[in-house]
Each structure stands twice: as structure tokens, then as C-alpha cells.
Amino acid sequence: SVPPPAELLEIAVEVARDAAATAYRMRAEGVSVAATKSTVTDVVTAADRAVERQVLDALAKQRPDDAVLGEEYGAAEAAAAPSGVRWVVDPIDGTVNYLYAIPYCAVSLAAEVDGEVVAGVVRNIFTGEEWTATAGGGAWRDGRRLRCSTETDPGQALVATGFGYDPGRRSHQARVVAELIPHVRDIRRLGAAALDLCLAAEGRVDAYYEKGLAAWDLAAGGLVAAEAGLRVTGLRGRPPGPDLVIAAPPALFQPLHDRLADLDASGGP
């Protein structure tokens, strides 16, 4: 039988804490680029791989019948799970920040039941800040329930976004930012999508959008944001996905959505 979300979250938190500790230790020992993926700027370090391996092993021990989708190794293990549970892991979201020791990178781990994210944890590797959520159970950081920003004026909104690794895509994304920035308080490109969503969950940025997110970037942080009251969708009523993810408080959603639609934020390569 499928355990309730709270039970899945307990497992996720335990696994994510151990994973973050490993990532922190490996960073202190010194890291370098182990390989590049889609482009030369899309790096992977030995820590990305070691941390994901640790997460896969820990989950296999506790939940042998679950499937896992992971950024570095998980695809092969992502076949249908007899248990109905699938874990989605980004061992280090914000790999470039990790490489440069900028304290804005995280372990992201979520549990899906029948394709719906029901529990998620995002843990900052450097600061130990930890965001959690369960479907219907709210979003939390360190024992405090989170609510998103109550800002209503798009012109006063601090909007976080991110860029993909493909050069053509980034040029398009930069053009969208150039057009958007006169109409908002400011833009932040902080460097880790999962954390951007968690910051939006507590109003430390007002909203967030990005094209090209992978499932592991979105799963846990997306639940945290939604449970804190943000609308998390794609363009024109589509579900959030690789085309575009917009996370905005209800009052800011429509104006931000419409501007991003006008700017063709989901277009380009």
C-alpha cells in the first residue's frame, strides 16, 4: 500500500539531509568539473554523481519497490514502480553555484504517487535551510508555515528567473528579461530553480518563471510554492513543464502570465 504523504516526506527529509551533508563535505574537500552535459556550460561534478548515488541507495534500502527519476543516473531506474511511488531527485540543483561555492544550491527530493507530487523537500547545502511540503498539508520552513507574497502591483514585484544552457535559448531568455525588466521592481537570476520556488513560497521573491525546467528542478520546489499559495502553471492553462513554469501569487499571476505570453517566453529554441 502507498504510505501517506507525511510518511513519504519523513523519508525524503532524512535522505535529503544525509545527501546535503555529503555534498557539503565534498565541496569543502574541493570540487572540479567532472564532465559537461548538453553544452560546455552544463557541468556535472563528482559530487552530483556521488550524492545522487547515495540518494538512490538510501531509497532502495527503505523503499525497494519504488521507482526513481534522477538528474544524473535516474532515467534507467525510472521504469514503472510496483508500489505506485516514484521519487524525483536533483542531487545538486544550482551546480554552477556549488562549483563556485556560492551558498545557493540545494538537494531536491520529491515523491510522486500516480504521477502527482505529494511530498517534497529542498535543502540548501550550505545554509541548512530546509523547505518541505505535502499535498494539502502546507509548505513549511524550519517549523514555520509559509505564505507567498501579498504584493498586488506587478511594477513592485521582484521576479526570479533562470536560464537554460543552450546558447540560442539563453539569448531568447535574455531578450525576454530585457523586455520584462522595465515593468517589474527587478529581476533576480539566483541560480537554482528549486530554491527560487522556495523563496517565492515565503515572499522573499514575489514570483518566478522559467522556460526549460526539467522534472527534477520543479518537483519538490513546485509543491512548496503551490502549498504556500502561489499559482504554479504553464502558459494558457497548461500544466507547468519544460515550455514554461510560472509561479505567482494569485494577484500577480494574470499580469505576469499575459506579459510573458506577449513576450513569447516559452518560444525560441
How many CB atoms sit inside 10 A of residue 65's CB? 10
User: For residues 81 and 67, what is the distance between their CA atoms, to the nearest angstrom?
Assistant: 5
Q: In the set 163, 208, 209, 253, which binds ligand IPD (CB under 6 A)?
A: 163
Q: Return the residues of window 38-77 that contact ligand IPD according to CB under 6 A.
A: 71
Residue 260: what residue type? Answer: L
CB of 113 to ligand IPD, least distance (A): 24
Q: In the set 191, 203, 221, 249, which binds ligand IPD (CB under 6 A)?
A: 191
Nearer to ligand IPD, 113 or 266 (CB): 266
Q: Return the residues of window 215-234 that contact ligand IPD according to CB under 6 A.
A: 217
- Identify whether the C-beta of residue 145 lies closer than 8 Å to the C-beta of residue 195: no
> HSE of 186 in the Cβ direction (CA atoms, 13 Å)?
5
- Identify whether the C-beta of residue 45 lies closer than 8 Å to the C-beta of residue 33: yes
Residue 134: what residue type? Answer: T
Nearer to ligand IPD, 81 or 90 (CB): 90
User: For residues 67 and 30, what is the distance between their CA atoms, to the nearest angstrom?
Assistant: 32
Question: How many residues sit close enough to ligand IPD to count as binding (CB under 6 A)?
Answer: 15
What is the DSSP secondary-structure string of 26-87? HHHH---EEEE-SSTTSEEEHHHHHHHHHHHHHHHHH-TT-EEEETTTGGGG-SPPTTSEEE
Q: Which stretch binds ligand IPD (CB under 6 A): 24-32, 73-81, 93-101, 136-144?
A: 93-101
Q: Return the residues of window 72-91 that contact ligand IPD according to CB under 6 A.
A: 90
CB of 107 to ligand IPD, least distance (A): 11
* 164 is an interface residue for ligand IPD by CB under 6 A: yes
- Identify whether the C-beta of residue 15 lies closer than 8 Å to the C-beta of residue 109: yes
CB of 93 to ligand IPD, least distance (A): 4
CB of 264 to ligand IPD, least distance (A): 18
CB of 38 to ligand IPD, least distance (A): 9
Instruction: Tell me which residues touch ligand IPD (CB under 6 A).
Output: 71, 90, 93-95, 162-164, 191-193, 210, 212-213, 217
